[in-house]
């Protein structure tokens, strides 16, 4: 600032650069979130544990969904602070009493204050709905799941016992 003879006058809301005055205008908050969850009560998350907390949704600039896409929302994996993480959680369709799972990987308890921001919310599609949609849109002339699993099972080494083969096939289905 000294190299360019700059003065920043916070009270007047202006910057002067080599004699030229530039008036500053504040911008509205440009944050991109429209839904997030915050902690309902002060909470202590025990060390080295998974812990469900109760949250509530905070909504901003929410538009009505006329396209009838997903009405499901959830948290995504994220870090709240050092050693404390939020798990992906599919939430019920309400704004209060929303359970969210936290994971404390540290060796000490972590205290969170009421109204701590836990996560922004993301539109989600449950796996069962996604699978149904995928089955409906899957080309009819392609291989079926049974065909693919059968081909995979045919490549399992013959030395693998039958009970292990059955468990593997069950897992694939």
Query: In the prediction, which pLDDT does 28 show?
Result: 54
**Is the domain of 47 the same as that of 92?**
yes
Query: In the prediction, which pLDDT does 27 show?
Result: 54
Token pair 């000294």 is at which residue?
2
**Is the domain of 81 the same as that of 112?**
yes
Alpha-carbon radius of gyration of the chain: 26
**Is the domain of 57 the same as that of 17?**
no
**pLDDT tens, per residue, the chain with 173 residues:** 667 677 877 777 777 888 787 777 665 555 555 789 999 999 999 999 999 999 999 987 655 554 444 568 899 889 999 999 999 998 988 899 999 999 999 999 999 999 999 999 988 877 765 565 555 555 566 788 888 888 888 888 888 888 988 888 888 87
**Is the domain of 22 the same as that of 65?**
no
Query: In the prediction, which pLDDT does 31 show?
Result: 53
Residue of 18, 20, 54 whose CA lies nearest to 37: 54
CA–CA dist 6, 92 (Å, integer): 54
- The CATH number linked to 116 is 2.70.40.10
**Is the domain of 121 the same as that of 146?**
no
**Could you tell me the residue range of the domain that residue 90 belongs to?**
35-125
**Is the domain of 107 the same as that of 82?**
yes
CA–CA dist 75, 97 (Å, integer): 14
DSSP three-state, residue 63 = coil
Domain count, the chain: 3
C-alpha distances out from residue 51 to 38, 48, 85, 104, 120, Å: 15, 10, 10, 8, 18
**Is the domain of 150 the same as that of 111?**
no
Q: In what order do the strands lie in the sheet with 20-23?
A: 6-9, 14-17, 20-23
**Is the domain of 46 the same as that of 116?**
yes
φ, ψ at 136 (rounded to 5°): -70, -30
DSSP three-state, residue 172 = helix
Query: In the prediction, which pLDDT does 145 show?
Result: 81
Judge whether 130 lies within some domain: no
**Is the domain of 53 the same as that of 118?**
yes
φ, ψ at 171 (rounded to 5°): -65, -40
**pTM exceeds 0.85, yes or no:** no
C-alpha distances out from residue 107 to 84, 104, 113, Å: 11, 8, 19
**Is the domain of 3 the same as that of 19?**
yes
Q: What is the dihedral of CA 33, 39, 42, 48, to 10 degrees?
A: -100
**Is the domain of 57 the same as that of 93?**
yes
Judge whether 109 lies within some domain: yes
Query: In the prediction, which pLDDT does 144 show?
Result: 82
**Is the domain of 67 the same as that of 100?**
yes
C-alpha distances out from residue 52 to 24, 35, 41, 80, 109, Å: 45, 20, 12, 14, 14
């Amino acid at each position: 600032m000294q190299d360019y003879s700059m003065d920043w006058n916070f009270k007047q809301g202006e910057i002067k650069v080599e004699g030229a005055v530039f008036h500053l205008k504040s911008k509205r908050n440009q944050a991109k979130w429209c839904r997030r969850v915050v902690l309902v009560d002060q909470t202590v998350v025990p060390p080295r544990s998974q812990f469900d907390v109760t949250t509530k949704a905070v909504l901003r600039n929410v538009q009505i969904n006329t396209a009838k896409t997903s009405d499901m929302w959830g948290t995504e994996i994220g870090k709240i602070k050092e050693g404390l993480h939020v798990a992906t959680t599919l939430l019920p369709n309400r704004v209060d009493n929303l359970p969210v799972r936290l994971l404390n990987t540290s060796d000490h308890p972590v205290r969170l204050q009421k109204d701590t921001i836990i996560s922004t919310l993301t539109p989600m599609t449950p796996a069962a709905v996604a699978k149904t949609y995928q089955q409906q849109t899957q080309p009819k002339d392609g291989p079926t799941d049974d065909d693919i699993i059968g081909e995979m099972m045919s490549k399992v080494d013959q030395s693998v016992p039958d009970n292990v083969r059955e468990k593997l096939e069950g897992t694939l289905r």
